[in-house]
Structure 1
């Protein structure tokens, strides 16, 4: 038997999801609509710090492939059965992202960049719907 039997690995673009329940005022402030997913423009950049400073956000290891790997890991029920590779920055969000993925039982192998920040996604939740702002 191979020592890799039962292991699943994914490779993609990791994002740190910063998720918080907000009011309509926040959606208006950042000019976003519920049930939308957009790439951040300059006017959206303060949303990430705003959520961290003024709300009690959940931090979640995100990004399409990493989300799939997290679900697979949850289904396998034994930590370390799923692994993920991607690139993050050597910044606070990169450290937080690694903590979140590891806490979910995923083996992470992140390449560390010093030139770009870790990708993140603001998840603005209101009345069970959400607006996503990714950078």
Structure 2
């Protein structure tokens, strides 16, 4: 199988700036370290072809404050906020959409160009390709609910973490905090195309990964890590998705996809920033 160009990703390219801080720093800023700040962060995937088009605005930035094993993120999207559907429609860009067989779009992109997301989603459904998105952050589920609901019928895979899943449940009035129930409900949301059933994948930190598929829920254990080896959790969720998709495009079983996702996230949380060793041992 030809893999070049098989997976197309869309999101907000940002320069992540990380700093290890102490409690005094937070106290001086009166800034909480609870992780409740808006979490704009899209994991940069090295080794991939990228297209940048905005020269008049500076590159977006994301400040990451890490205290112990917790983090808070604040972003200025800047140039990333300038993306328009016209960029996507350029022949050289749309050719990439047509070539790809799998699509992954960060939920954060709903704040920038939902029209672009919809265009790719409709193309995927029409051509029987695999379309996936991430819930990305609680505020996306809360404040971009309508945009998210519009594209949800096209999603073949929905990724998220337990906090995002519970927020999704609350804003839709489901009255349950049970992650397994929520994952199942999301998987059963009506689809625009009946060619494949939706699979929901919810990570829970050190707790098992929840996968809802075909009316059933399975749990997959993660790779447990001693607390003293935990360095930085920033990008862990995105790394999980990257590992998962790396196996999915090879048509591997879901269990293998989850295993690869857990491996990728386990590696990056032992390193500062979203960084990897030179060679994987997966």
What band does the TM-score fall into relative to the shorter chain? 0.3 to 0.5
Give the number of the structure whose residues are more often strand, by fraction: 1
Q: Taking structure 2 as the reference length, what is the TM-score of the superposition?
A: 0.24
Q: Which has the higher contact order (CA 8 A, sep 6+)?
A: 1
Larger Rg: 2
Give the number of the structure whose residues are more often helix, by fraction: 2
Q: Taking structure 1 as the reference length, what is the TM-score of the superposition?
A: 0.45
